[in-house]
Each structure stands twice: as C-alpha cells, then as structure tokens.
Amino acid sequence: MTTAGSHRPIRTRPEGCGSPLSGVYDTALLDLDGVVYAGGEAVEHAVGALAAAREAGMRSAYVTNNAARTPVTVAEHLTRLGVPADPEEVVTSAQAVARMIAEELPPGARVLCVGAEGLVVALRERGLEPVESADDDPVAVVQGYGGPEMPWGRLAEAAIAVGRGLPWFASNTDLTIPSGRGIAPGNGAAVEVVRIATRWMRPAPEPRVAGKPLPPMHRETILRTGARRPLVVGDRLDTDIEGAHAGGVDSLLVLTGVTDAAQLLRARPEHRPTYVAADLRALHRPQPEVAGDGDGGFACGGWTASVRGAALVLAGGGPDPVDGLRALCAAAWTEAGAGTCRAETDRALSALGL
C-alpha cells in the first residue's frame, strides 16, 4: 500500500500482506518516541507486541533521532518498561553524527558539543574531544538535543563558533518531539536559533545533518545491526518513513505518535509507508490486502474507498477502522500520483472515527 518511487504505481499487495511481518522481515528498526514509549511510559500494547515478535524470531533494534541519552540509558529505560534491550540494540543520531565528524577530523580533534550526555559519549567513543566553549579552540561544532534545560548560553557558544567559520554538524533537525504533555521543541528548533544568529554570513552556513531521514543514520543502523531484511517502524512521515524510502527498505507507520490519519492521506510519495497500523501489534498479525474493487476504488476488510468529484468517499464497513484507512490511502495516493492528494477527506475520516 505504498509507492516504491515517486512515479511507480501503488503496491496494494506488499510482500507482508497475508502474513505476520515478523515472519517476513528479520529486524524491526523501531523508532522510540511515539512508537515504543511516550512521555517515558510504554505505548499501549507495545510491550506485549514486541515480545510476541521476538518469540516469532524477529530481532528488534531501537533507532532514535534523540541524541540526548546514551544507548546504555535507553536500554535500561526499555528494560524497566518490560522491553528487554541491550545497549548494542540502540542506535542514536549522536552515534551517526559522531561517525560523520570522525571520518573528517583527526583523532583527538576538539569539537564544540552543544547537547547532552548521549552526544558527549558518542564523540568520545570516536576519539574526539568534546568542549563547551567557542574559546576552547574547537575545530568543529555539533548540536544535539539537550533537553528542556538546555542553557541559552550553549546556543550562543554554537552561534559564535559557527560565525567564526567552523564546520557545523547536527545530530538531527526534528523541529518537534512528542512528550507526555504534548508536542515540544526538538533539536531542529535549537538549530534554527543558531541559523538565525548567523544569517548575516555570506553564504549563510548550513549544518551537515546525520539523523533520519538522511542516509548517515540508515548507514549507522545497518552497520550496527547487520540487518538483511529490515522493516522501519515509526510514527513520523518526515523522518521514519522518508528515511526508509531513502534507504530503499519497507516501512510500517503506527498511529500512536505524531502522524494522524489526515496527514497520512496527504502524504507525498516519499512519505507513504508500506504498511499502516494502529500500533505495534501489527508486527505479529497478518497484514490485510488492499485490492482494487473493479470500479476505480479500493477495498480492504469490508470497506471500499474511491475519489468521487472533489472528495474521498468511503462505503461499507468492518470491525477495524484502520482497514478503512488503508483503503482510503490507496484511493488518495492513486489520485495524487506523484503529488499530494487534494480531495476533501474530513467526511470519510469522520465515518471511521479518525
């Protein structure tokens, strides 16, 4: 139920349809925030679903753009939630950006580090020396999420160093992150502060970014996990799903985080997942097929969807409203082709309660 490229047709029957995904893919590359946990607590059904997938032989790797925490800390958190994890199963954007920097700078190079412990540890593991001031003779600048307590002065140090012409790196540029209380500013917001403070420069500086959806993060993940048939699992179109698209691998979008049904229907080709599900239980359940209904529409689980005039139209019914959403996605994306669906969606989504 996706496009493999911007001009290829909708795949209404991916390989996993009719089978549990845990039997088709060897490794689930799982985002964390909004997928496994939210606000520090496990997402509903996540613990049992991951255990069932593991029992079926599917390995799990936890791939996060959040550069604040170390893999050890993340693994301990997951284990406390009931998801046994080793630090080696955790891949962070801090690790990806540290590899990028280390491939360009000599061992022992001083790097102005504007971030939290996870970024500091990742730099040291690559033989680099983190420093905190633009006056500590750094030869590069790197930014990573520093948490809500990030001092304003750290951003000032970054702006001063970038203004001096030093190479600028960022673990990721997610503008927002989910939290237990709502959507909060992410590292991308902090990067924008430095960008604004240095826009007087000509040419204006741009950071080199490692995190999802860009290739350095996918490369880091494959190097660390050794996955041969990975499935990217995420809640964001612009990081998780686009990253899977860029890496040429299949993806599962779960509706437990940032992306809602309306955003999904309007997804551009590079943001269209292979599979859509309510939550992680999809890993160990057979995936339904979306099939043409013979009248220009698409059917899934008793629901049929088509574009009529300027609106998406939904008919039929079934026990799982996500089946209706799957049919709507196929209709919307077929109508949109390589663009964005412009049909009205509110009435159809209201019928699903989404």
Please list, in sequence order, all residues whose beta carbon lies within 8 angstroms of the beta carbon of residue 224, skipping any fewer than 6 positions away. 61, 88, 91, 95
How far from 34 is each of 147, 238, 253, CA to CA, in Å? 17, 14, 11
What is the C-alpha separation between 101 and 167, in angstroms, rounded? 10
Cross-strand partners of 303: 300, 316
- Are 216 and 210 in contact by the 8 Å Cβ rule? The answer is yes
- Cα–Cα distance for residue pair 161/166, rounded to 1 Å: 6
* DSSP tag of 42: E
Residues annotated as catalytic (active site), given as ranges: 31, 33
Q: Is 33 left (phi over 0), alpha (psi -120 to 50) or beta?
A: beta
Pairing, β 298-300 against β 291-292: antiparallel
Show Cβ contacts of residue 162 under 8 Å, excluding neighbours closer than 6 positions.
141, 168, 194, 198, 205
Q: 156 CB contacts (<8 Å, ≥6 apart)?
A: 197
For 303, the 3-state DSSP assignment is strand
Cα 25 from Cα 38, distance rounded (Å)? 25
Q: How far is Cα 353 from Cα 335, in angstroms, rounded to an integer?
A: 23
Task: Please tell me the distance from the alpha carbon of residue 20 to that of residue 213, in angstroms, as a whole number.
Answer: 26
Burial of 107 (0-12, 13-18, 19+ CB in 10 A): exposed
